[in-house]
Amino acid sequence: MSSHRVVADPSGASLAAEGCVGPRFLIIGAGMAGILSAVKLQEAGLTNVAIYEKASALGGTWRENTYPGVACDIPSHLYSYSFAPNPNWSHVFSPGAEIFSYFEEVARRYGVDRLIHFGAEVRLLEWRNGLWHLETNNGETDEGEFVIAATGVLHHPKYPDLDGLASFEGPVFHSARWDHSVPISHRRVGVVGTGSSAVQIVGAIVDEVAALKLFQRTPQWILPIENPPIDEEDQKRYQADPNAIEVLRKELAQTFEAHFANAVVDAASSEVKVLEELCRANLDQSVKDPALRERLRPDYRAACKRLVVSSNFYDAIQKPNADLVTEAIDHLSPTGIVTKDGALHELDVVVLATGFRVDRFLRPMDVVGRGGVLLDDVWADRPSAYLSLSVPDFPNLFMLNGPNGPVGNFSLIDVAELQFAYVEQLVAQVLAGRCREVSATHDALERFEAERVKAAQKTIWVSGCRSWYLDDRGIPAAWPWSFDHFRARMAAPKLEDYELVG
């Protein structure tokens, strides 16, 4: 394995890669999975690493989403690296800014921050002569034996196709592009959408704004989970005894897996029925007005869509200055939103809490594999990858939290840690000289997809709703088995499912 020298970026910034010896790893993305990858590579003595990040800061989704009320719906001590426990989480479910700070601190502690090329959006990855050749939109080039695609899932905002959007005279922005220069205090704010972001925003701003209108296309089931602060004594105990955090983390993982993660992959499970009862009771007991209650009641089973967690949404939507609008949006006018019934809802600010394009992954970058095959062509119908990690004819390219992985039912940090340990075993085949290229076989991907599609029929996600989990065929684009099954599949690669090239 030879050393590689990158071409310096136009700003003249020093790039630490020059002089590094050994196989070169190009990591795309400096979010949760990118930071993890760099830490684990360095732990393994593989220090010839560069991270390319399109933004000016690390943090991924926690850099992008800064809207009021943003928080994780996975318990804090579970949504953290196993190798970097944090004794100082402030709440059971941490606010976004705190998670962002955590990733910044971990990156500094492990020296990952010095490996990142900021403002370097990868526009091209091309496999030529046994190496991946990388080009960015700011003129940087690099090459390496391996690519780790840590590009994430929820970072390409999905904008609604609404007539007149550009005609509205006030500020309009996506929840993932929150404009903090826009004052909302004592103003009339419209929120379009009813997913997790919208629910968090409504609960956070309703007492600040003059009027809040929530434009609902589809109601959501709300699981009532409180988010209390973590006691100072517990924080001190975790600081003094890191093992106490590990014990707590295992308990949280077991509870989360048993009562949610493993439940949603079996629509007939007793655990799903318990979730349904909790959601129904929450709606029935929390919303006093029977007419409003029925407008908030979904006509599908709980957890069919990604389950929304909130302790204050129903209280917020019943405030005197809040209004739930269930009539469909017709268009925007200069002064507000006009619904299909002809009503004008006058607004000062419009927030589009309309989710993300979840089928992007490596795109929009051009990825060219062996023999000139284009990833865009391979994914023309929909994205797919063997075990969500590897695509045939794209050697030595590994995705963390790639297509059809456990994006909606497990902690993505746990997922990424297990995936990276699996990837390390594939990389070891190359480092041991058994091959120079490794990628899934076409047959392995076809078998995996057939198994996945069949298993998906048992999940709660196909029980009668339309959600971002479903692909163009109505098949859940998510891992349809238990976490135990995922852990078992990630324990060791079946090398017969991989093409190992000389």
pLDDT tens figures, 400-411: 999 999 887 789
Q: Which of 431, 15, 487, 13 is nearest to 5 (CA)?
A: 15
Our measurement of the distance from residue 42's CA atom to the centroid of its chain's CA atoms, rounded to an integer in Å, reads 24
388 with 358: CB under 8 angstroms? no
- Decide if 25-156+357-501 and 165-226+256-352 have a common fold: yes
pLDDT in tens, 344-369: 999 999 999 999 887 888 989 999 99
Kindly state which CATH superfamily the domain 25-156+357-501 is placed in: FAD/NAD(P)-binding domain (3.50.50.60)
Predicted confidence at residue 282, as pLDDT, reads 98
What digits encode the pLDDT tens for the residues 448-473? 999 999 999 999 999 999 988 899 89
Residues 6+ apart with CB under 8 A from 48: 3, 4, 17, 20, 21, 22, 23, 24, 25, 144
Work out the angle between the directed axes of helices 96-109 and 32-43 (0-180°, nearest 10).
Answer: 20
C-alpha–C-alpha distance, residues 5 and 17, integer Å: 6
Each residue of 117-170: pLDDT tens digit?
A: 999 999 999 999 999 999 999 999 999 999 999 998 877 899 999 999 999 999
Residues 6+ apart with CB under 8 A from 192: 160, 162, 198, 215, 329, 337, 350, 351, 352, 353, 354
What is the domain partition of the chain in residue ranges?
Answer: 25-156+357-501, 165-226+256-352
Q: Could you list the beta-strand ranges (E) of 290-358.
A: 308-309, 322-325, 329-333, 336-339, 344-346, 349-352
Pair of tokens at residue 176:
């993932």
The answer regarding whether domain 165-226+256-352 maps to CATH 3.50.50.60 reads yes
- Within its chain, how far is the Cα of 226 from the centroid? 23
Tell me the mean pLDDT per 10 residues along the chain, length 502.
38 37 93 98 97 97 96 94 96 96 98 98 97 97 98 87 96 97 98 97 98 97 95 96 94 91 93 96 98 98 94 98 98 98 98 90 94 96 96 98 86 96 98 97 98 96 91 92 95 98 92
Helices (H), 26-150: 32-43, 61-64, 96-109
Structure pTM? 0.94
Considering only CA atoms, which of 70, 83, 8, 91 is closest in space to residue 39? 83
The answer for 303, left when phi > 0, alpha when psi is -120 to 50, beta otherwise, is left
- The answer to whether 385 and 362 are in contact (CB under 8 A) is no
Q: What is the CA radius of gyration of the chain?
A: 23
